[in-house]
Structures are given as C-alpha cells and as structure tokens.
Amino acid sequence: MSECREPIKVRIFQSDVSGGNLTREKLLDIWKEKLSVCPELDVSYYGRMKMDDIDEEVGDADAVIGLFIAPGIITKEFLDRHPHLRYIATLSHGLGSYDKEEIKRRGITYTNTVSGDVTIAQYAMAMLLDLCNNVAIHDDFYKHKIWSTPGAAKNGVKILTRQFELYGKTIGIIGLGSIGYRMAVMAQGFGMKVIAYSRHKKCGDKYAFIEQVTLDELLNRSDVISIHCPLTEESRNMIDADAIARMKDGVILINTARGEIIDENALKDALDSKKISAAGLDVVCGEPLDGPIPLMQCDNTRITQHIAFATPEAKIRAIEIAADNLINWYKGTPTSVIK
C-alpha cells in the first residue's frame, strides 16, 4: 500500500437502487459488514456522485470508490485538488478516460470492478433473442388484437415479424474480455459458430471454441455482431459507414459497450436501407440524453437506457469485489489493478 495518513479516509459513492427489494440501506449493510475487518478505515458513505459537488465530496480522502469514469474527471487538475488520494476505484467494468501517466507518477492505485459480466452478456443475448423472435409483439397480438377481427384466430398461424433462427449462424464478438467471453459461451449454447476480434489474442483452453480473426474478417463473415470492447480512441466510431459496408446484408448488430463505438448516422442509414436488419442498443452517444435521437425512429431497433448491468445480483457482487479490492490494497496486496 502507498503511504497514507492514519486513519485512512475512504469515500464510497453508492447510488440508489431502482425497483425491487434491494434498497440502498441493504447495500450499505453489505459494505459495512465486508469492511468491518478493517476498523482502521474511516469510511463515509455518499449517494450518487454529483458532478457540481465532486470536489467537495471527495475532499481530503485517501481512497475514493465509485468515482465517475467519464472523460475529463480524473485529470491532473483534479488530482492536484485532492493531493491525499492514493486509491481510486470504479464500481463498473469500464476504465473510462483518465490521466494514466499522472496516476502512475503519483503512485495512485486505480481499480475496476468486474462484477456484471454474466449479467451484461445475458442482456445482450436477451436483446438478440427479442430481435430474432419478437415474443412481446406476438403475445400482445394473440392476447388482445387478434380478437377484434372475427374468425382471425382460426385462419392459421399469425407471424407478424420475421423469425430468425440462431442455430448454425455465425456470431462475431468484438472485444473478448470477460463480458465478450460470456457472450461467446451463451452463443455457443445456441449452436452458433463463434468468431471474435480483440486487440490482444486470448490464449488458454477456455478460448478453444472461439475462432479469433481480424476485424475485417469478422465484419465479412458474421450474421450477428455483438460489441463488448472498451471505448478508446482506436475504437471510437469503429463501426462507421465503411465498416458497415463490409458487413453481410441483413446482419444484426448488438451494442452493450459504449455508444460512441458506433457512428450513429451511419447506423441509421444502414437500418433504413435494411443493410443492417436490426440493432439492439443498451448504449447510445451522449448519455444521458436530453431528448429522442434519430435512431429511435427506426422500428427495427431495441434501445434501452444503459441498464444491462443493473441486476440485484450484479450490484451485490460489485460491492463484494470492490470491498475486497479495497481491503487487499490496504493490506499491501492490491487486486483488479488497472495498469
């Protein structure tokens, strides 16, 4: 552990929970139980971080957990204003945009929390299945609309949307980290051929069922493309008009990573022309939005408000991992360190 004052001041930003029986009070109870093994830590709990009050809330903390990872936050200027900081942790998979050299120069430990890989992959698969089968549309039709037309229920099977079978199709996964790998396993379970592109080739027996290819080959061969890579300067607008032109006609596109990986104007054009038959997006550019965006005019999309990570199980797991990371850092054996 880097040298710190005693007691070590820790600020934890734990947002409220929407829906269900998992309240913020229950989440705080988990934090307190996990951190009870380190009474030397002087822990203060806050709600969701407020951008206008970020400097006041961080204050003279030695460690901050739940810091926003949006661009322009973890900068040299921010670190200058908080010279006591020795440990920064996100409560998400994302690494965000941060001053890597300044973090390193100051000896600050920076960690993330890989807690929602199964949850996010499940959501990506749910989006894909919804686009393939449109169960809710057929459910609503059979329960309600069909009965307004006399005799319609006896006229045979009513297929309102194209049905798409995944078995035997090729899924291309962009980004073979923990989420992408989970998506690959799920896709294999549906009998899909799995190919993947990642910045660094993945080695080990668990990847044996995945054919690792170039991005160009993935675009050319995939019937379904699912994006699970981080947002970097290299991946920003990776899926642009040129990339879309190299895709199969009628491909399905899923994105649960970051909106800025896709050029949304090019995507809308492709959806309108049916070059891309459908898209499932849990992320869009410029979140949080101030109003509707053009992509929302496309009937062949499913767009949700960046909620793929938000199961109670994943939230609890995030706290357990983040608490362990903090304890391990305090004991001098840091884990989940971003280098």
Are residues 132 and 261 part of one domain?
yes
Would residue 306 show up in a list of annotated catalytic residues for this protein? yes
Q: What is the mean pLDDT of residues 288-307?
A: 96
Q: How far apart are CA 338 and CA 310, in angstroms?
A: 23
Q: Are residues 60 and 169 in the same domain?
A: no
Catalytic residue status for 287 = yes
Range from 65-69, 168-172, 235-239, 288-292 carrying the lowest mean pLDDT? 65-69
Q: Are residues 98 and 154 in the same domain?
A: no
CB 31 within 8 A of CB 319: yes
Same domain, 99 and 55: yes
Among the options 287, 302, 313, 320, which is catalytic? 287
**Tokens 């993935």 belong to which residue?**
218
Reduced to 3 states (helix: H, G, I; strand: E, B; else coil), residue 279 is: strand
d(CA 84, CA 205): 43
Number of domains in the chain: 2
Question: Looking at the structure, do residues 79 and 155 belong to the same domain, yes or no?
Answer: no
Q: Taking the model in full, what pTM does it have?
A: 0.89
Does residue 329 have a pLDDT over 60?
A: yes
Contact predicate 317/28, CB 8 Å: no
Q: Which of 228, 258, 264, 317 is catalytic?
A: 258
Whether residue 77 is found in the same domain as residue 209: no
Give the per-residue pLDDT at 263: 98
Distance CA 148, CA 152 (A): 8
Condensed to tens digits (0 to 9), the pLDDT of residues 125-139 reads 999 999 999 999 999
The structure tokens 């908080």 sit at 82
Q: Tell me the average pLDDT across 59-85.
A: 89
Q: What are phi and psi of 147, to 5 degrees?
A: -80, -10
200 belongs to the catalytic site = no
My answer on whether 134 and 157 are in the same domain is: yes
- Asked if the structure places residue 265 within a domain, the reply is yes
For residue 295, give the CATH number of its domain. 3.40.50.720
Calculate mean pLDDT across residues 231-242.
94
Residue-wise pLDDT for 255-269, tens only, equals 999 999 999 999 999
Domain that holds residue 24: 8-116+312-330
Question: What percent of the chain has pLDDT above 70?
Answer: 94
- Is the pLDDT at 91 greater than 90? The verdict is no
Q: Across the chain, what does the average pLDDT equal?
A: 92
pLDDT category at 94 given cuts 50, 70, 90 is low
Length of the chain: 339
Q: Which residue among 211, 260, 306, 320 is the active-site one?
A: 306
The reply to whether 263 and 321 lie within a common domain is no
